[in-house]
């Protein structure tokens, strides 16, 4: 009944080398709760065997089962109790979540026209169902009666929290609406689901529909061999000679950072920033302009039906921040602190571009290239040179070693689990004694039919009540360059950081000790706190012991040398203020769209206004960033993109405790696990943070780690 529990809402997270794989660990034993290991994963999706009809039938069947549970509750004249009301609903809701996840996930990582059509139809049905469930007045009154009962006053705090959050979900779901307003609210929810799917699909199709042909290898100067080889394979598959470059994330980033040919950078940049718009090179039918306008208008109408001034107020009702005004103040304060240093950093890039590359006036497609060139000059560091030190399997080895040191959990590959692509691996997550805690699908590489970016999503929640025993299972998805024929997949340091980030999200889901799915893992956690574990884990990507453990040069096997580690650490705050302004721009744009009462917003005008206030870098007049901003138009970050910076304050402050108590302190790591990773949403995120840190969060550590103070 909350947006985090609605499976129709998008979430918003093998190498040929054999000598650097994850270490062999003892086979997992039965969990401390008595779960038999051979039953733990028996109901995982049979990827490769499930037809589209099977996927959709499971959703519809479990939706009907939950509907029947609700009907039984309405017809039961007895006073509601925890066992009679909450437990059956938790069972049925968890079954529906688990039934929905395979279709939702495959639509994101293995898109086909048939699956897309089937998932879009199913997600609309789910949206209507969840909206109607959130407006079920009889169920609401039963939860209210349970809340007001004598037994409730002495109930377990976790049970009290679940009931209170459920009542809030009913309220925000429109349970008080009557007549036409109620019907309109349902219609809006259904239409928004449809629009978000369309928006995401347009971005995917526009991205994968673009290619740029290069006939002379000299035009690829500066690009990594792995990117050049992939472009050659793409051209061969298309039946032509030469090279074909796309704007998929690994290729686009490599070109922007490394391509010597300024015209090539400009061509790909223009294609990328005009995706899914009439300004782009693709199909004009993929334009997202009208979709954005309708999405914003419907969100505003939805908020007004519930009595909120604007959608931001509705969104913030489930977040740590108290009001849009508080968030605006937070973002503007960070902007004011960052701008002076950001201007100095931009000037240094301009001067470097003119001196080294002869670029008299910095264009948008020069910024990343000149910044990376300056980084190489200043720190003698090259992201592509670093790549050779980070073969994927060695990175996984070091990453798993870190979480064992911090949290007392171990990881091993399980070979017998069905997957949707040969490159996907399944991981067992165990405690120090070998008791199985969770599972995780690892899907790291970009391919056709897979949407861009990196994300974590839930496959299955944790359940442990009555006779039901499930351990949590996650999906960890990235879009790194795949292994070549004769070389393992390798990561840049930035990509390594992305992988650690998504693992942080997965740990939040997998290490929960809460047996009730509605308040376990990430479910119900305030959206501006969900990035805390993910951004916290990024800090170890600069820590020498972790860098040594994650590195082994693909030819020599040597770990990253000490002098390179020192230079990498020194470069950590490079352009930190400039990067800060970029993220603040996104956050202010998002909030400015959603914290207004007007329904006839000019999206591009709002963006121009925000950029005039905060941005100092050059932009194209035809830039259509909003048309591909899936975080806020197709994901869970509407009126919530600020959450990245909000949670970054929490993460930096949390890491400062490790800095004072030991970067690999098991005691501090177990405290983090106990107070934050295990607790789900059974208490407020602020209470969990204070239980770990011993006080409210402070901004000092973030400013220090970004070089602003």
Active site residues: 502
Quote the crossing angle between the two packed helices 364-379 and 562-570, to the nearest 10°: 130
Q: What angle do CA 5, 7, 13 make, to 5 degrees?
A: 90
Start-to-end CA distance of the chain, whole Å, equals: 43
Between CA 107 and CA 672 the distance in angstroms is 34
Between CA 40 and CA 469 the distance in angstroms is 8
Between CA 643 and CA 83 the distance in angstroms is 36
DSSP 473: E
Characterize 230-258 residue by residue with b for buried, 16 or more Cβ atoms within 10 angstroms of its Cβ, and e for exposed: bbbebbeeeeeebbbbbbbbbbbbbbbbb
Residues 70, 44 contacting (CB under 8 angstroms): no
DSSP for 423-441, please give it. T-EEEEEEETTSBEEEEEE
H or E stretch covering 245: strand 243-245
| Count of CB atoms situated within 10 Å of the CB of 278 | 15
| Count of CB atoms situated within 10 Å of the CB of 180 | 8
Q: What angle do CA 349, 620, 631 make, to 5 degrees?
A: 90
User: What backbone phi and psi angles, to 5 degrees, belong to 211?
Assistant: -150, 150
Which are the contacts of 133, defined by CB distance < 8 A and separation ≥ 6?
A: 1, 66, 70, 139, 173
Residues 203, 275 contacting (CB under 8 angstroms): yes
CA distances from 434 to 160, 407, 430, 666, 669 (A): 33, 14, 5, 18, 19
CA distances from 278 to 19, 203, 239, 274, 288 (A): 50, 13, 29, 8, 9
Which are the contacts of 627, defined by CB distance < 8 A and separation ≥ 6?
A: 203, 274, 275, 276, 277, 287, 288, 289, 292
Residues 642, 587 contacting (CB under 8 angstroms): yes
What's the token pair of residue 529? 């706190």
H or E stretch covering 599: none
Across 174-238, where does the E strand assignment appear?
212-214
Separation of CA 506 from chain center: 10
Pairing type for strands 425-431 and 463-465 reads unpaired
DSSP 636: S
DSSP for 75-132, please give it. H--SPP-IIIIIHHHHHHHHHHHHHHHHHHHHHHHS--HHHHHHHHHHHHHHHHHHHH
Characterize 593-605 residue by residue with b for buried, 16 or more Cβ atoms within 10 angstroms of its Cβ, and e for exposed: bbbbeeeebebbe
Q: What angle do CA 77, 80, 83 make, to 5 degrees?
A: 125
H or E stretch covering 476: strand 473-480
Which of 342, 385, 321 lies closest to 526, judged by CA?
321
Residues 80, 146 contacting (CB under 8 angstroms): yes
Between CA 37 and CA 58 the distance in angstroms is 24
């Amino acid at each position: 009944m909350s947006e985090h529990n609605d499976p129709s809402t998008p979430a918003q997270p093998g190498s040929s080398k054999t000598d650097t794989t994850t270490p062999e660990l003892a086979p997992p034993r039965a969990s401390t709760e008595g779960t038999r290991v051979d039953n733990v994963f028996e109901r995982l999706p049979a990827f490769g065997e499930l037809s589209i009809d099977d996927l959709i039938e499971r959703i519809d069947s479990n939706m009907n089962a939950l509907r029947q549970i609700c009907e039984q509750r309405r017809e039961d004249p007895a006073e509601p109790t925890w066992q009679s009301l909450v437990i059956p609903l938790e069972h049925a809701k968890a079954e529906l979540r688990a039934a929905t996840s395979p279709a939702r996930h495959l639509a994101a990582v293995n898109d086909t026209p048939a699956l897309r059509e089937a998932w879009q139809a199913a997600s609309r049905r789910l949206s209507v169902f969840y909206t109607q469930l959130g407006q079920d007045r009889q169920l609401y009154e039963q939860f209210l009666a349970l809340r007001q009962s004598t037994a409730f006053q002495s109930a377990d705090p976790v049970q009290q929290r679940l009931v209170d959050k459920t009542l809030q979900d009913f309220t925000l779901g429109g349970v008080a609406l009557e007549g036409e307003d109620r019907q309109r609210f349902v219609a809006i929810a259904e239409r928004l689901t449809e629009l978000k799917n369309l928006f995401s699909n347009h971005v995917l199709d526009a991205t994968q529909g673009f290619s740029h042909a290069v006939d002379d290898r000299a035009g690829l100067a500066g690009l990594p061999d792995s990117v050049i080889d992939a472009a050659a394979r793409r051209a061969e598959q298309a039946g032509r000679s030469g090279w074909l470059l796309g704007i998929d994330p690994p290729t686009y980033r490599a070109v922007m950072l490394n391509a010597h040919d300024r015209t090539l950078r400009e061509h790909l940049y223009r294609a990328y920033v005009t995706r899914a718009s009439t300004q782009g090179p693709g199909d004009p039918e993929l334009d997202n302009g009208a979709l954005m306008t309708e999405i914003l208008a419907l969100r505003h109408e939805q908020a007004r039906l519930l009595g909120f001034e604007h959608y931001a107020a509705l969104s913030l009702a489930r977040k740590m921040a108290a009001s849009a005004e508080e968030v605006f103040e937070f973002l503007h304060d960070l902007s004011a602190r960052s701008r002076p240093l950001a201007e100095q950093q931009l000037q240094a890039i301009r001067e470097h571009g003119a001196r080294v590359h002869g670029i008299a006036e910095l264009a948008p497609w020069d910024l990343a290239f000149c910044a990376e060139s300056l980084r190489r000059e200043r720190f003698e560091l090259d992201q592509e040179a670093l790549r050779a030190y980070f073969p994927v399997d060695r990175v996984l080895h070091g990453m798993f070693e870190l979480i064992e040191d911090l949290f007392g959990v171990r990881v091993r590959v399980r070979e017998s689990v069905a997957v949707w692509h040969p490159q996907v691996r399944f991981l067992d997550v165990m405690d120090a004694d070998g008791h199985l805690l969770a599972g995780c699908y690892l899907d790291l590489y970009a391919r056709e039919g897979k949407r861009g970016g990196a994300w974590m999503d839930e496959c299955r929640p944790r359940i442990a009540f009555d006779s039901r025993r499930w351990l949590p299972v996650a999906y960890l998805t990235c879009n790194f360059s795949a292994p070549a024929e004769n070389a393992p997949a390798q990561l840049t340091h930035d990509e390594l950081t992305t992988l650690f980030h998504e693992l942080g999200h997965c740990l939040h889901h997998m290490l929960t000790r809460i047996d009730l799915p509605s308040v376990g893992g990430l479910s119900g956690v305030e959206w501006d706190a969900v990035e805390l574990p993910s951004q916290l884990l990024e800090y170890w990507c600069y820590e020498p012991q972790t860098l040594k453990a994650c590195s082994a040069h693909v030819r020599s096997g040597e770990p990253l040398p000490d002098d390179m580690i020192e230079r990498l650490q020194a470069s950590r705050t490079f352009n930190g203020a400039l990067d800060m302004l970029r993220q603040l721009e996104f956050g202010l744009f998002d909030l400015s769209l959603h914290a207004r009462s007007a329904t006839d917003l000019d999206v591009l005008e709002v963006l121009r206004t925000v950029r005039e206030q905060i941005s100092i870098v050059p932009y194209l007049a035809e830039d259509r960033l909003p048309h591909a901003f899936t975080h806020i138009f197709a994901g869970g970050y509407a009126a919530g993109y600020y959450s990245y910076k909000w949670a970054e304050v929490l993460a930096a402050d949390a890491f400062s405790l490790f800095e004072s108590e030991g970067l690999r302190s098991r005691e501090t790591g177990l405290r983090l696990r106990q107070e934050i990773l295990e607790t789900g949403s059974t208490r407020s995120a602020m209470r969990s943070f204070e239980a770990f840190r011993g006080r409210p969060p402070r901004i000092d550590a973030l400013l220090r780690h970004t070089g602003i103070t």
